[in-house]
Amino acid sequence: MDLSDGNDPSGEANREFGGGPGLIEASDIDQKGWALTLTSVNEHSTILVAVHGPDGPGISAGLMSVLADAGVEIYDVEQIVVRGRLTLNVLVGVSGERATIRDLLFFGWERGLNVEFEKVEDTPTPTRPMSVVTLIGMSVGAADFGAVAAAIAEAGGNIDRIYRLSRYPVVSYELAVSNGNLDQMRENLVRTAAALPIDVAIQRDGLERRGKRMVIMDVDSTLIQDEVINLLAREAGVEERVSELTHLALTGAIDFEQSLRERVGLLKGLDQTAITRVHENITLTSGARTFIRTLKRLGLVTAIVSAGFTRFSDVLAADLGIDYALSNTLEMVDGHLTGDLVGEFVDGPRKARFLKTIAEAEGIPLSQVVAVGDGANDLEMLATAGLGIAFNAKPVVKERADTAISVPYLDAILFTMGIRRQHVEEADEADPFFEVGERIEVPGIPPL
């Protein structure tokens, strides 16, 4: 039989569809690519209907109309379109009536679609534990996908679905994974990511993963590209010594408070003019404004906490519309720094307490908090949050955080939260108070 020859498909074709004792399934292929054979069917069967082909308006509506006319039961539906190619799967319960299958095949022939059928077990699919794996990189190639898939499979996981979250400024994908040992998968993926030019995050899927309500982050080398104390030290002529102490403190090699007080002491005598120059030289991390703007649109509480200084963090918070800010205070007398700090000292434990204080005040469970940082003094804060992210961090932080991001764009964190770049851009375009600027070219992004 050939459905593509243009000869009265509703006549001869339908007679052939109805001529056997049961349902039509995939087997013999004719010129049009249709797969047709006959198989036995019980009084009631569960059938997986798979539709493939070029997408277009009205396909889902037409298919459901055929099923509705036949009075079948709909058990499950999944659909995806990739580059204009449709894959639509419908799990249905049908009686022994052959007309349903005949009508579906005729519908597919009319629309230029391939329609296949598979009889499946009537038993419900058991609930499976689900995880979400996020891949982020300047590019993500076949070797990267293969290594990640192998790491998941080795821990007993199965990839159910993959879709792209972004292709700008980085490429990112989200993988829905069923089953598997979460801890083993995490261990495998950390090891895999360390050997590849990509970042990989894994989280248990569920309401808490989708319902993040607060983001708190470090300032120096996270929200901004600089270490402010190093910029101040440059003005004071002691940059080399202060930079060395900063590095040792952030890697956990020396006591943080003792180191910071020593560095602040080296700034003694610095005047307001020098501090103003430092303000002018601070550079936001790429994507910082997009990140904060998107979080605010989503209604999330935002906070920054820094072992740096209020003279800088308070200005950043006001500029970006951040809800909460905490940092150390430099003492100034007669327009010059004294080399001392005043007020409560902000260190690692204080950062974690600040997170808890805000979460309690806002009525937010810690499991719905995201914390972002790069230094050893951020570790307690990252461990306190439901999701702790090491952003371009020191090795000791990468090893202990829930996930690590190494790309130089702060808004890449949005992708670990399941937010698509397309939605970010659409929100920008729809905002009458936001002026969409010229897109910065990023080499190597996918052309499609």
CATH of residue 149's domain is 3.30.70.260
- One domain for residues 46 and 166: no
Distance CA 216, CA 295 (A): 11
- One domain for residues 238 and 369: yes
* Residue 212 reports pLDDT greater than 70: yes
Rounded to an integer, the average pLDDT of 17-31 is 37
Q: Is residue 342 part of a domain?
A: yes
Q: Is residue 3 part of a domain?
A: no
Burial (CB < 10 A; 0-12, 13-18, 19+), residue 189, is buried
Question: Where a domain ends, among 120, 136, 165?
Answer: 120
pLDDT-derived band of residue 98, with 50, 70 and 90 as boundaries? low
Question: Where a domain ends, among 102, 120, 138?
Answer: 120
- One domain for residues 257 and 292: yes
Which contiguous run of DSSP H or E holds residue 25? Answer: strand 23-29
- One domain for residues 229 and 328: yes
CATH of residue 373's domain is 3.40.50.1000
Q: What is the pLDDT of residues 63-95, one digit of tens each?
A: 999 999 988 999 999 999 988 999 999 999 987
Helix runs in 35-125, H state only: 59-70, 99-111
Residue 267 lies in domain: 215-417
The whole-chain average pLDDT of the chain stands at: 88
Burial (CB < 10 A; 0-12, 13-18, 19+), residue 187, is middle
pLDDT at 124: 78
- One domain for residues 297 and 178: no
Q: Is residue 210 part of a domain?
A: no
pLDDT at 121: 86
* Residue 26 reports pLDDT greater than 70: no
pLDDT at 42: 52
Is the CB of residue 16 less than 8 Å from the CB of residue 28? no
Q: Find all residues with CB under 8 Å of 268, minimum gap 6, and list them.
A: 336, 337, 338, 339
Q: What is the pLDDT of residues 35-44, one digit of tens each?
A: 433 344 456 7
* Residue 18 reports pLDDT greater than 70: no
Rounded to an integer, the average pLDDT of 299-313 is 96
- One domain for residues 220 and 196: no
pLDDT at 16: 36
Q: Is residue 1 part of a domain?
A: no
- One domain for residues 95 and 73: yes
Looking at the 3D structure of the chain, how many domains does it have?
A: 3
- One domain for residues 227 and 191: no
Active site residues: 218, 220
Question: Where a domain ends, among 94, 120, 146?
Answer: 120
pLDDT-derived band of residue 346, with 50, 70 and 90 as boundaries? very high
Q: Name the residue with tokens 């020396």.
A: 254
Rounded to an integer, the average pLDDT of 396-404 is 92
* Residue 301 reports pLDDT greater than 90: yes
Rounded to an integer, the average pLDDT of 141-163 is 96
Statement: the pTM of the whole predicted model exceeds 0.85? no
